[in-house]
Amino acid sequence: MKIFLDGAFVEAADAKVSVFDHGLLYGDGVFEGIRLYQKNVFRLDAHLERLEYSAKAIALKLPWTRAEIAEWTCEACRQNGLTDGYIRLVVTRGAGNLGLSPKRCPKPTIFIIADKISLYPPELYATGLELITVPTRRMNAAALPPAVKSLNYLNNIMAKIEAENLGYQEAILLNDQGFVAECTGDNIFALFKGELLTPKPSSGALRGITRDAVIDLAAEFKLPVRELDLTRYDLWIADELFLTGTAAEVIPVVKLDGREIGTGKPGPLTARFIEAFHRRVIVEGTRI
């Protein structure tokens, strides 16, 4: 496997960053997870725009143009002979000293991994996920805005540990006010009485690329979408639930906190979103 690292493609075994890199020492950096479908990088420009915004938010200056990063991303797929795959694009603060100050890091590090991913077993897309709400709360947006896709994922990891210890593959996090934020790695949508409901970003939800694609599809379906503060009760009584994410795509939820959602089986609207999303990803984006 070839990894893009600071301007060159190297073998995976040789793709190394310094132990003094602040991305490793402090989680100081940003990243994107991107998908390749039939040699089409889905919404690459949107991903790179979000990367730029995340970097700007943490005062990390990117010394490369968007066009350069886009070409390196596509070339990473070509170098590894991929038709379908998952791309992890990471920018760290770079190597510095053992202090927190980013001013001691003269230049950022960039690396791009293009490989395969399977977040959930294929059968769950037909049968649906069971979720649980975990005690770990989403970090307050005043401490770290959820729109920043940073390397600091310990909040999510702690929630994932709690879910897995209880036998669940995914969990819902509430914010410090008790409203639904998102799952450990995915956004969440609820269908209720003909409306599609989803937590607003200020509740602690990442502005997901797949989330945006589903909102676009809802407009095509002429289905009203509302971003609002949602409680667990709102999800328990929903007609349908599903999750969205770059790795997860669109996956149905059939049970939450021991309560069946709707009929207890994946709903027809969820199936419609899955089908429409799979059609869109092969035509919308950047050909490698």
Domain boundary among 115, 134, 151: 115
In this structure, are 101 and 134 located in the same domain?
no
Domain boundary among 115, 144, 178: 115
Alpha-carbon 256 to chain mean position: 21
pLDDT given for residue 130 in this prediction:
98
In this structure, are 146 and 107 located in the same domain?
no
User: Is 288 domain-assigned?
Assistant: no
The average pLDDT across 145-168 equals: 96
In this structure, are 161 and 258 located in the same domain?
yes
The average pLDDT across 206-234 equals: 97
Residue 85 tokens read as 């795959």
In this structure, are 24 and 95 located in the same domain?
yes
User: Is 285 domain-assigned?
Assistant: no
DSSP 21: B
User: Is 287 domain-assigned?
Assistant: no
Helical H segments across the chain, by residue range? 22-26, 44-57, 66-79, 124-127, 154-165, 209-220, 232-236, 268-280
Residue 228 tokens read as 């609002």
Task: Just list the catalytic residues.
Answer: 149
In this structure, are 75 and 161 located in the same domain?
no
**pLDDT tens digit string along 91-139?**
999 999 999 999 999 999 999 999 998 889 899 999 999 999 999 999 9
pLDDT given for residue 150 in this prediction:
97
154 pLDDT higher than 90: yes
Residue 283 banded pLDDT, cuts 50, 70, 90: very high
User: Cα separations (Å) of 119 from 12, 86, 124, 163, 171?
Assistant: 22, 11, 10, 15, 14
- Per the structure, how many domains does the chain have? 2
The average pLDDT across 221-230 equals: 97
Report the CATH number at residue 106. Answer: 3.30.470.10
Burial class (CB in 10 A: 0-12, 13-18, 19+), 17: middle
Rounded to 5 degrees, what are φ and ψ at 210? -65, -35
In this structure, are 107 and 145 located in the same domain?
no
In this structure, are 268 and 135 located in the same domain?
yes
User: Is 42 domain-assigned?
Assistant: yes
Paired residues of 255 in beta bridges: 130, 260
Paired residues of 36 in beta bridges: 41, 85
Residues 6+ apart with CB under 8 A from 14: none
In this structure, are 85 and 202 located in the same domain?
no
Confirm whether pTM is higher than 0.75.
yes
pLDDT given for residue 197 in this prediction:
98
User: Is 286 domain-assigned?
Assistant: no
In this structure, are 197 and 68 located in the same domain?
no
Closest CA to 73 of 113, 37, 109: 113
**pLDDT tens digit string along 10-62?**
999 999 999 999 999 999 999 999 999 999 999 999 999 999 999 999 999 99
Measured CA to CA, the distance from residue 80 to residue 83 in angstroms comes to: 9
Residues 6+ apart with CB under 8 A from 141: 175, 202, 204
Report the CATH number at residue 162. Answer: 3.20.10.10
Closest CA to 89 of 74, 107, 105, 104: 74
Domain boundary among 73, 98, 115: 115
In this structure, are 237 and 141 located in the same domain?
yes
> What 3-state DSSP class applies to 80?
coil
User: In one letter, which amino acid is 53?
Assistant: Y
pLDDT given for residue 213 in this prediction:
98
Question: For every residue of 223-243, which 3-state class applies, written as one string?
Answer: CCEEEECCCHHHHHCCCEEEE
pLDDT given for residue 96 in this prediction:
97
Cβ atoms within 10 Å of 134's Cβ, excluding its own? 22
The average pLDDT across 133-156 equals: 94
User: Is 156 domain-assigned?
Assistant: yes
In this structure, are 67 and 139 located in the same domain?
no
Note down the domain range covering 96: 2-115
User: Is 131 domain-assigned?
Assistant: yes
